[in-house]
Structure 1
Amino acid sequence: MKKYKCIIFDLDGTMLDTEKMNMIPLQRLVKEELGQDVTYESLLKYRAYAGKKTLELIGFKDIEKSYTKWVKYVGEFEEGATLYEGFNKVMEDIDAKGIICGIASSKMKNQYEIDFFPTGLQKYMKSVVLAEDTENHKPHPEPLLKAVKLLGIKPEDSMYVGDTVVDYKSSKAAGMDFALALWGASDLSGIEADYNLNDPMDLLKVLGL
């Protein structure tokens, strides 16, 4: 069993269930600004991208203005982010074994604080790399490489846990092993994960804890 010194986590769809709070406001925004009725399911593929990149891919013109409106709608949405069940124990056990943890996410810093701080798990995260922290975003390896560089750990001694093909490509480009969070994954095509996790607790099995 491989010994990992470091585990880097994605947030949305991996640690945090933020799907509805992001997608329903996005659906509303597409209807309002582009006059299109799009299905909820058709928007799920955009979960892999940073917010502004998503709007660009959908075809919005004034990205900044539309993004501001989307953030406002997300903030007003009645269902906030929730931590996937099991992560409290997972983080506690990983930390107790001296394995270092960090985050590499396309989430903006202010949204990260709103969504993740209430979980109380940020105390376990020794490096946090968010959308504003790198010039390039996933599937480019820069966010993951920065996360481990801040910790002084080599990519080959690290594992990335994510839920999309973009996460997978980023981890492979960075030279890291990849664990797929199946609970948050909506499309498995193109992903050849080193580990398939059905439940957050499966990560403890992979680590031999």
Structure 2
Amino acid sequence: MKKYKAIIYDIDGTVLNTLNMNMYPLMKIIKEELGEDWSFEDVLKFASYPGMKVMEELHIQDKEKTYERWVKYVNEYEEGASLYDGFEEVFKQFEKAGIIQAVVSAKTKEQYQIDMVEKGLDKYMQATILADDTDKHKPDPQPLLECLKRLQVNPEEAIYIGDAKSDELASLNAHIDFGYAKWGNVNKEEMKDAAFVFEQPLDLLELL
């Protein structure tokens, strides 16, 4: 098993189960903006998209204001985000082993504060690259390259753990290995270029 200096995580669908808290409010937005009733299955295709890209795909008139309202609904959603089982152990074990941990996500800083910092999970991360930190976003490699730069780690010394096609493509474009978090991919896509396929979070400990 190849040893890595740094493990970089996507958040939604990888570290945190945020599916319900994002998708049900989106269904509400679609009803309000387009007057259409979409099912949960209908909106699942947007699960891995950055927020503004969803607004563009839906041809929303006032994208910024509607996106803000969606975020408000997400934050008000009672269930909130939940950590996938096993991750607390994963974070602790990697920290103990001296492996650098970081985050590259399309989340906003405000959402990261609610979902990661307030849960006490940010303490394990030595760098966080969020939506506002780069001009370009996954599948462009820029967020991952910025993370490597901040960590002072070479591409071959890192692995990116994610659940979506955009995560795999970003990894390829940044020339770093990709670890497919299979538990978070609702569409069960095939990731042909993944260096590793992980069935559950505790499987990540194979990287030790």
TM-score for both structures, normalised by structure 1: 0.96
Alignment-derived partner of residue 123 in structure 2:
123
Give the Cα separation in 2 of the matches to 1:18 and 1:130: 16
Give the Cα separation in 2 of the matches to 1:11 and 1:75: 16
Give the Cα separation in 2 of the matches to 1:170 and 1:12: 16
Q: Is the 8 A contact 1:165 1:188 kept in 2?
A: no
Matches within 5 A, 1:1-209: 1-189=1-189, 191-192=191-192, 193-205=194-206, 207=207, 209=208
Give the Cα separation in 1 of the matches to 2:91 and 2:23: 28
Give the Cα separation in 2 of the matches to 1:31 and 1:4: 46
- Deviation (angstroms), 1:10: 0.2
Q: Is the 8 A contact 1:30 1:36 kept in 2?
A: yes
Q: Is the 8 A contact 1:164 1:188 kept in 2?
A: no
- Deviation (angstroms), 1:118: 2.9
- Deviation (angstroms), 1:66: 0.4
Give the Cα separation in 1 of the matches to 2:155 and 2:45: 27
Give the Cα separation in 1 of the matches to 2:100 and 2:188: 28
- Deviation (angstroms), 1:71: 1.2
Name the SS for the 2:78 alignment partner. Answer: coil
Q: Which sections of structure 2, spanning at least 5 residues, go unmatched?
A: none
Runs of at least 4 residues off by over 6 Å: none
RMSD, aligned CA: 1.0
Name the SS for the 1:136 alignment partner. Answer: coil
- Deviation (angstroms), 1:119: 2.6
Give the Cα separation in 2 of the matches to 1:41 and 1:163: 18
Residue identity matched to 1:152 = Q
Greater CA deviation, 43-52 or 135-144?
43-52
Residue identity matched to 1:84 = Y
Residue identity matched to 1:199 = Q
- Deviation (angstroms), 1:190: 5.1
Name the SS for the 1:91 alignment partner. Answer: helix
Aligned positions, number: 207
TM-score for both structures, normalised by structure 2: 0.96
- Deviation (angstroms), 1:188: 3.7
Name the SS for the 1:180 alignment partner. Answer: strand
- Deviation (angstroms), 1:161: 0.2
Give the Cα separation in 2 of the matches to 1:89 and 1:189: 27
Identity %: 47
